[in-house]
Structure 1
């Protein structure tokens, strides 16, 4: 079964994305979405360095919801900061120590940070133990690190790694 459907979560996700992109749920588009959702993971299997194992699917759903809320709220915060007095911004770089070891989890953490307006992941250290993060307006680097670890890194660790 794993050879025929190598990524059982990615396949329906791709099919749904296709339907959203074409903005149609006609039988032909549903069939094409399912076909693409099945073929893309099958044809790209050799590019995946490791098998993806989601250990806690409900935690993944909560994580996605939390990330979407954070993105929306951060958009308002950044708009307020930029439309206010940009000279009062206090940008900083912080080195975020990583507890994650999985390449996928580290990549998702870096992308989550970058997707949230006001923060950008800038660089991963050679030893993959630190992630350099830029924040648009932060006065307490320790609070930023604690927030990222609590809101993003720990759930990703629960979802993708053995804790």
Structure 2
């Protein structure tokens, strides 16, 4: 069954979508929709990411709260700097050593950092596992390193890299 329908839910969705777009349940539309519902998931199966095992779902809630607080705090700070800053910016790059290795966790960390106004994930520095981070107005590099390591990276390690109980 998995050979013909690697993703049965996606196949069912595609068939229903095809029939809705054509506004018909004639046999020809049913047949073409079924062919598409079988062919498309088989063709895109190699493009699907590796499965994710998520541990500690309550940690996800804590991470979301931390991320939202940081995003709101940064929104306020960047807005204040732009409106009332008078050009006193200290824009710099900093290096943050990462212990997180899971690709999914790194992707989530990149999304959070890039959603935070005033910060941009630049790259993982080749030859090390340090994150190059650009900060719009840097006053305390140690605060940024500590915040990312404790409030963002550690929950992601707990979520993606710990064994499930």
Please indicate, yes or no, whether the TM-score normalized by the shorter chain is above 0.5: yes
Partner of 2:59: 59
Partner of 2:92: 92
* Counterparts in 2 of 1:88 and 1:159: CA distance versus 1, 3 Å: same
Aligned residues: 128
Unmatched tracts of structure 2, length 5 or more = 10-36
Query: How far 1:45 sits from its partner (Å)?
Result: 4.7
Aligned-residue RMSD, C-alpha: 2.5
Q: Does 1:104 align with 2:104?
A: yes
* Counterparts in 2 of 1:154 and 1:115: CA distance versus 1, 3 Å: same
Partner of 2:151: 151
Partner of 1:46: 46
- For the residue of structure 2 that corresponds to 1:157, the secondary structure is helix
Q: Does 1:132 align with 2:132?
A: yes
Unmatched tracts of structure 1, length 5 or more = 7-38
Q: CA separation in 2, counterparts of 1:158 and 1:69?
A: 20
- For the residue of structure 2 that corresponds to 1:94, the secondary structure is strand
Partner of 1:32: none
Query: How far 1:142 sits from its partner (Å)?
Result: 1.8
Query: How far 1:65 sits from its partner (Å)?
Result: 2.5
Q: Who wins on radius of gyration, i.e. which is larger?
A: 2
Q: CA separation in 2, counterparts of 1:122 and 1:145?
A: 15
Q: CA separation in 1, counterparts of 2:103 and 2:92?
A: 26
1:21-40 matches, cutoff 5 A: none
* Counterparts in 2 of 1:73 and 1:140: CA distance versus 1, 3 Å: closer
Query: How far 1:113 sits from its partner (Å)?
Result: 0.9
- For the residue of structure 2 that corresponds to 1:87, the secondary structure is coil
Query: How far 1:98 sits from its partner (Å)?
Result: 0.8
Q: CA separation in 2, counterparts of 1:81 and 1:160?
A: 36
Q: CA separation in 2, counterparts of 1:160 and 1:147?
A: 19
